[in-house]
């Protein structure tokens, strides 16, 4: 079994470090998780629990790595969300209007390495990211009654000053260890070493309802670190059928102290627990059909779960949050080997909508409302050891409309803020290179 030489391993280590230093930004797909991890998965609607031909088990199913062999994967995904927000029927007419987010192009790296230490033991590392709260709205032409004596002041859509938006970047480095407990049965574990960064701008009005008014808006980047773990199982029950399952604990993160007056529980923002099960079916050697079910339990994170209508101050233990519900995701992918050098893929991913109508105002900042994702992709063998993979995703625009929280913040006249609508659509195009050794 040929190993990487020392020079190659130094190159891989350098690539891992470089990827870890890149800001990893994305917007909502399945909530604020990506619809998939690894370029092959991205081309199959995100179905990945039983996939064994890439190195992204740290993000999908660590047990798969003991079947993946020696390989190195690196790629980048161009992600393009289009987000907008509008307000109508407000009794204060100067609150009506619409605005589009200016941040539209994001480049998300992916990287994985796996090595067989023994025929039944593998070690590796997966580097991946999440995001979902990245918006950047211009101030627009809104006039809000926030001046002395409730005089109208030129403001952004949430009645703050300047540009409006938030940015959330999450990077996870997941070392993997996998072991075959039998010839066709594997288990795996991946510690999740996480770093995240957050900033908020233009939400100065919320200081008036915060437990810590000086820790709400326009404070630059805050960062935190934390850890969790993902465990997995994969079994091949016949040449035609495999089954996998994976569970990731909640990743406990240090608080964003700088924004302790914005997020519930004085700036707490953990990463939610999630789990997935999947089937891999092979009707004949050229065809693969993969079906996954994933559950993301946003309800375990108070700053994400708490309804925006909670009466406690912002930043308090039961303070208002984004009101996100848990998300259930179905992922279906098909794959066909055209010839020994070419594989084509297609898939569909459907997730439940985490945002209810009552929480639209807060989610102007994080409009994670898309549900359906259509994907296609291919892999082409460049030579006996290396390959090129591409994937494309399209998520049609989805919107949610609900009553404005300004109806309570500005009680006079009645229905002061009318109704608001948030809208999100997405597309992505990615490319990855891999080598086996």
Q: Which pLDDT tens digit goes with each residue over 20-62?
A: 444 445 445 888 899 999 999 999 999 999 999 999 999 999 9
pLDDT at 8 over 60: no
- Report the percentage of the chain scoring pLDDT > 70: 93
What does the alpha-carbon distance between residue 406 and residue 205 come to, in Å, rounded to a whole number?
11
3 state SS of 39: helix
What does the alpha-carbon distance between residue 292 and residue 179 come to, in Å, rounded to a whole number?
22
Q: What is the pLDDT of residue 266?
A: 95
- Tell which residue, 64, 281, 277, has the closest CA to residue 187: 64
pLDDT at 13 over 70: no
Q: What is the pLDDT of residue 4?
A: 52
pLDDT at 2 over 50: no
| Per-residue pLDDT band at 1 (split at 50, 70, 90) | very low
User: 84-100 pLDDT, tens per residue?
Assistant: 999 999 999 999 999 99
Over residues 76-83, mean pLDDT: 95
Over residues 223-239, mean pLDDT: 97
What count of Cα atoms within 13 Å lies in the side-chain half-sphere of residue 105? Answer: 0
What does the alpha-carbon distance between residue 45 and residue 34 come to, in Å, rounded to a whole number?
10
Q: Are 126 and 246 in contact (CB under 8 A)?
A: no
| Per-residue pLDDT band at 103 (split at 50, 70, 90) | confident
Q: pTM (2 decimals)?
A: 0.92
Over residues 8-24, mean pLDDT: 50
User: 181-216 pLDDT, tens per residue?
Assistant: 999 999 999 999 999 999 999 999 999 999 999 999
Q: What is the pLDDT of residue 9?
A: 56
What does the alpha-carbon distance between residue 344 and residue 321 come to, in Å, rounded to a whole number?
42
3 state SS of 416: coil
Dihedral-angle region of residue 239 (phi above 0 means left; psi in -120 to 50 means alpha; beta otherwise): alpha
What does the alpha-carbon distance between residue 196 and residue 174 come to, in Å, rounded to a whole number?
15
pLDDT at 11 over 70: no
Q: Which residues contact 89 (CB under 8 A, 6 or more apart)?
A: 96, 415, 418, 419
Q: What is the pLDDT of residue 31?
A: 87
Dihedral-angle region of residue 409 (phi above 0 means left; psi in -120 to 50 means alpha; beta otherwise): alpha
Q: How far is CA 380 from each of CA 37, 46, 338, 365, 384, rounded to the nearest angstrom?
A: 19, 19, 10, 40, 11
CB atoms inside a 10 Å sphere around CB 252: 12
Q: What is the pLDDT of residue 18?
A: 47
What are the structural domain ranges in the chain? 6-436
Q: What is the CATH number of domain 6-436?
A: 2.40.160.60
What count of Cα atoms within 13 Å lies in the side-chain half-sphere of residue 127? Answer: 25
- Tell which residue, 370, 356, 297, has the closest CA to residue 323: 356
Q: What is the pLDDT of residue 203?
A: 97
Q: How far is CA 259 from each of CA 72, 155, 201, 283, 353, rounded to the nearest angstrom?
A: 38, 22, 11, 53, 26
What count of Cα atoms within 13 Å lies in the side-chain half-sphere of residue 379? Answer: 28
- DSSP annotation of 263 reads S
Name the average pLDDT for the chain.
93
């Amino acid at each position: 079994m040929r190993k990487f030489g020392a020079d190659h391993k130094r190159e891989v280590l350098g690539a891992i470090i470089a990827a870890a230093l890149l800001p990893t930004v994305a917007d909502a797909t399945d909530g604020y998780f990506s619809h998939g991890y690894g370029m092959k998965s991205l081309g199959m609607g995100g179905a990945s629990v039983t996939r064994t031909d890439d190195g992204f088990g740290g993000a999908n199913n660590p047990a798969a790595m003991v079947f993946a062999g020696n390989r190195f994967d690196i790629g980048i995904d161009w992600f393009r969300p289009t987000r907008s927000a509008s307000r109508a029927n407000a009794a204060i007419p100067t609150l009506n209007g619409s605005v589009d987010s200016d941040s539209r192009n994001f480049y998300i790296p992916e990287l994985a390495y796996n090595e067989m230490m023994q025929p039944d033991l593998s070690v590796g590392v997966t580097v991946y990211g999440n995001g979902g709260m990245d918006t950047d709205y211009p101030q627009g032409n809104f006039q809000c009654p926030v001046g002395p004596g409730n005089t109208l002041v030129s403001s952004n859509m949430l009645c703050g000053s300047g540009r409006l938006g938030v940015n959330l970047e999450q990077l996870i480095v997941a070392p993997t260890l996998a072991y075959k407990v039998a010839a066709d049965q594997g288990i795996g574990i991946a510690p999740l070493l996480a770093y995240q960064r957050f900033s908020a701008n233009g939400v100065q009005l919320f200081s008036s309802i915060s437990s810590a008014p000086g820790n709400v808006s326009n404070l630059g980047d805050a960062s935190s670190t934390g850890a969790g773990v993902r465990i997995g199982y994969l079994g091949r029950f016949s040449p035609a059928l495999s089954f996998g399952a994976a569970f990731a604990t909640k990743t406990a993160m240090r608080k964003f102290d700088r924004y302790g007056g914005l997020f519930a529980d004085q700036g707490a923002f953990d990463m939610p627990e999630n789990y997935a099960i999947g089937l891999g079916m092979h009707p004949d050697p050229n065809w693969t059909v993969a079906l996954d079910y994933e559950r993301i339990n946003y309800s375990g994170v108070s700053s994400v779960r708490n309804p925006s209508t909670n009466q406690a101050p912002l930043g308090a233990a039961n303070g208002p949050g984004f009101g996100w519900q848990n998300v259930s995701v179905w992922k279906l992918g098909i794959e066909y080997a055209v010839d020994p050098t070419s594989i084509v893929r297609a898939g569909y991913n459907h997730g439940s909508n985490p945002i209810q109508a009552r929480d639209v105002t807060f989610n102007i900042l994080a409009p994670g409302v898309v549900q359906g994702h259509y994907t296609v992709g291919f892999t082409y063998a460049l030579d006996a050891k290396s390959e090129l993979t591409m994937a494309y995703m399209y998520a049609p625009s989805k919107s949610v409309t609900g009553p404005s929280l300004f109806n309570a913040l500005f009680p006079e006249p009645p229905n002061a803020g009318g109704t608001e609508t948030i809208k999100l659509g997405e597309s992505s195009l990615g490319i990855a290179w891999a080598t086996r050794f």
